[in-house]
Every structure is written in C-alpha cells, then in structure tokens.
Amino acid sequence: MLYRVSLDDLIDFDIDMKEIEQAIEKSSVEKDEQVDWTKAWGKKYPILLKYQSEVNIPNYGMRLREMLDELKASMKEKGLTLSYDDELVKYLVKKSYSAAYGARNLRRTIQKEVEDQLALTIINSYDHPATHLSATAEEEKVVIRAL
C-alpha cells in the first residue's frame, strides 16, 4: 500500500486521454495557470487526487505568517516596524501554492513579492526615512506603504 492507496487503485483507471490532450492543446499561458492539473492528471493517477485531498492549505497560511513574523522581527532589529494584513497572507498563499510543488515556494515568494518591494520603498523614502511600513495586497499585487 502506497500513500494509503492500494496498488490496484493505482493501476485501475478509466481515462480518456483525448480529453486531456484536447485540454492541453487549447490552453494558453493565461489559461494554463487556471487549469487544475491535479484533477486532470488525477484521472490517470488517482494517487494525486488522494494526496491533494489530504493537503491542508490553511497550514500554508500559518507557515506563511510565521515567515512574515520572522521578517517583522528582523526589521524591528533595524529600527523599522512592519505590519501586514490578511489580504497579503491570502494573496501570498494563492501565489506561492502550486499543485506540482505544494508550498515549497513560500520563502521565494516572500522574497520576491514582499522583501523586494520593502527594499524599494525604503530606498525611495531615503529623503524622509520611514519608520513604519504596511504591507497589503491590492488588485493581485503586493502594496507597501511607508507611514
């Protein structure tokens, strides 16, 4: 038994490969991000569906908050205060989670989406240094405000 799925369940599948091939041919880069590949390939490999049903995305949100809190602590050591809201957490979970890689991209997403924006905001506020920075997500992007 592998991942609580018997070998018979792994081998026994009924799939229309033409359906998957048509979906792949019709996809574009924009649509590709909207396709639930776990569901599509889950028809051929049921173990993917079993695994996906056991994955708990709220855990990613908790881990992401821990990482953001570590960033807050690091900034506090430098004399800066950082605050963030639930919209940022929701956006980052959505942006970093993928069916193929799970939540492995959390750290990279925080660096790219939040830390890079924080650095730019700090550099741009050089003339009037900001002591408090607020991070949120608006219109599918991270927004940093110097307060």
Mean model confidence pLDDT for the chain: 76
Domains detected in the chain: 16-54 (no CATH), 57-146 (1.10.8.60)
Q: pLDDT tens across 21-57, in order?
A: 666 666 555 555 565 666 666 666 666 555 555 555 5
Tokens representing residue 127 in the block = 């003339």
pLDDT at 52: 52
Contacts of 13 (CB under 8 A, 6+ apart): 43, 44, 45, 46
What are the backbone dihedrals phi and psi of residue 135, each rounded to the nearest 5 degrees, phi first?
-115, 135
93 by Cβ neighbours in 10 Å (0-12 / 13-18 / 19+) ranks as: buried
pTM attached to this predicted model: 0.59
53 by Cβ neighbours in 10 Å (0-12 / 13-18 / 19+) ranks as: exposed
Q: Does the structure show a pLDDT above 60 at 10?
A: no
Sequence-ordered strand ranges (E) for 4-147: 81-84, 132-138, 141-146
Mean pLDDT, residues 10-20 = 58
* Strand pairing class (141-146; 132-138): antiparallel
pLDDT at 20: 61
Q: pLDDT tens across 84-111, in order?
A: 999 999 888 888 876 666 666 788 889 9
pLDDT at 132: 95
Nearest to 59 by CA among 32, 84, 8, 96: 96
